[in-house]
Structure 1
Amino acid sequence: MARFDSKSIIVTGAGSGIGRAAAQQFAAEGGRVVVADVTEGADETVAMIADAGGIARAIRMDAGSEEDVARTIALACDAFGGLDVMFANAGISGGMANIFDTDVALITEVLRVNLIGPYLAIKHAAPRIAERGRGAIVLTASVAGIRSGAGSPAYSASKAGVINLAQVAAQQLSGSNIRVNAICPGLTETGMTKPTFDYARDAGKMDRVGRLNPLRRGAQPEELAKVALFLASDDASYVNGQAIAVDGGLSSSHPVTRQEYGKTAV
């Protein structure tokens, strides 16, 4: 498959996790990828892509900085002749404190990166994508943004904002032929969730990871990246303004005690 042959693509938060997996998949399908991350993981991702025969450029950037976002988009346009796809994936967790224990400085920082970051990505990427005549913007939200129970107040509020932002942007880009959608990951093994997965492995409790969703497991970054690529591709040419849950079925119901497959409910 070469759905992104010669396309210019930016992936933020691409130094690890979903962003790294997406950058690798975009490059494997012919895309020319700007790998953006606040850490040196961006260089590692580019090296992986180059080793696989792909084309990528690394840039260190803060997703919540307007100057950095503009600089990243300028790099894509200068290096690859324009911009076709923006995957605004970068985000931070903000811990698990409740409303009353969350410091205002913390929630401000979470909103700056997780919500203002995607806003800036749309603001600066959309005009350059429009110059190409068509393209796509994909945002990373979360199941925590759909309803409570999957994240801290700060994180959940930021991701709910991302879902609405995708809808508003799709409307305000009417007539531009730019589609805007969001993915809503469930529990996925990334740098953000590494402590949870490491603890489960060390304690021999991996069977408890993701146990509240019908598939009864956590996701791997590649599984989320595939959905992001679908939304960025022409395969999703009539999908716009949507937030797609990729969560093993968790958000299809409120968590309950489920009947075991093949067993009689008690």
Structure 2
Amino acid sequence: MMRFKGKSIIVTGAGSGIGRAAAWLFASEGGRVICADINDGADRIAEEIGDRATAIRMDAGCEEDVVRAVDLAVATHGGLDIMFANAGISGGMANIFDTDVALITDVLRVNLIGPFLAIKHAAPRIAERGGGAIVLTASVAGIRSGAGSPAYSASKAGVINLAAVAAQQLSGSNVRVNAICPGLTETGMTKPTFDYAREAGKVDRIGRLNPLRRGAQPEELAKVAAFLASDDASYVNGQAIAVDGGLSSSHPVTKQEYGKTAV
């Protein structure tokens, strides 16, 4: 497939995890990708991809940096078709009473203001090209409690709502806005959890609360983001798609093994 042939694309958080996998996927299907990250991961992934990628160091929560990334896409590729606002930080696992204002402010700045800025500055450029797509990375932590810290969960709930609001406010522009809601995925953010499980011989416990009984790999999330960014999803707009092995499909219940009768 060459779903992104000739398309100008920005991926934030492209240096690792879901962003890295998405940058590779977009480029492999013909896209020209601006690989944006706050560290040298952007340079590494762009070098690996080759002439279809350009690196830029940027802070996703800084308006000036977001404008620079959009301007680079326009200058390098003649415009912008797709924005994947994927960059995010975890903010640790502190509870409400141990979370200070500085921490939650920083998490909201990157995780929620970042996607807001991406929409604000990318959408007009995408509309100029006749339309396209914006994909935001939210989380199952934004759907309901139990999957992240208060700061992280609140930020991702905001992203889910932002996708819906932006879709409405972009009515008539042919710019679609959707979000993906990853479950437990092996990224730089979750690497310590996966590494510990392997070292302790407890890999079978990773993702045990979802029906697929496993965690996800970044490529699995990148494929869903690419679907939403492509014309295959031309009538999908304002949605938050859970990609979590079924974790968010149920309220807590007694687990039943396939082929066995619950007692």
1:244 paired to 2:250: no
Q: Report the CA distance between 1:47 and its aligned residue.
A: 1.8
- Whether 2:38 is the aligned partner of 1:41: answer no
Aligned to 1:70, what secondary structure does the other structure show? helix
Aligned to 2:11: 11
Residue-by-residue CA offset, 1:47-99 (whole Å, 9 max, x unaligned): 2212xxx5000000000000000000000000011000000000000000100
Q: How does 1:114-125 map to 2 (within 5 A)?
A: 114-125=111-122
Report deviation, 1:255: 3.3
- Read off the aligned partner of 1:255 and give its amino acid letter: P
Query: Displacement, 1:263?
Result: 1.7
Q: 1:33 is paired with a residue of what secondary structure?
A: strand
1:212–1:255: 8 Å Cα contact kept in structure 2? no
2-side partners of 1:89 and 1:28: how far apart? Answer: 19
Amino acid at match of 2:242: A
The reply on whether 1:23 has 2:17 as its aligned counterpart is: no
Does residue 147 in structure 1 map to residue 120 in structure 2? no
Q: TM-score, normalised by structure 1?
A: 0.98
Counterparts of 1:15 and 1:195, CA distance in 2: 18
3-state secondary structure, aligned to 1:198? helix
Structure 1 range deviating more: 247-256 or 118-127:
247-256
Where 2:260 maps in the other structure, the secondary structure is coil
CA contact (8 A) 1:185 1:246 kept: yes
Show structure 1 runs of 5+ residues with no match: none
Q: How many Å apart are 1:256 and its aligned residue?
A: 3.0
In the alignment, which of 236, 253, 259 is matched to residue 250 of structure 2? 253
Preserved contact between residue 189 and residue 218 of structure 1 (Cα < 8 Å): yes
RMSD, aligned CA: 0.7
Aligned-partner Cα distance in 1 for 2:163–2:261? 43
Q: Does 1:169 find its partner at 2:166?
A: yes
CA distance in 1, matches of 2:46, 2:200: 34
Q: Which runs of 5+ in 2 are unaligned?
A: none
Which position in structure 1 is the counterpart of 2:32? 32
CA-to-aligned-CA distance 1:124-143 (integer Å, 9 cap, x gap): 00110011011000000000
Q: Give 1:12 deviation, angstroms.
A: 0.1
Identity of aligned residues (%): 85
CA positional deviation for 1:43? 1.0
Tell me which residue corresponds to 1:68.
65
Q: TM-score if structure 2 supplies the norm length?
A: 0.99
Q: CA deviation at 1:264?
A: 2.1
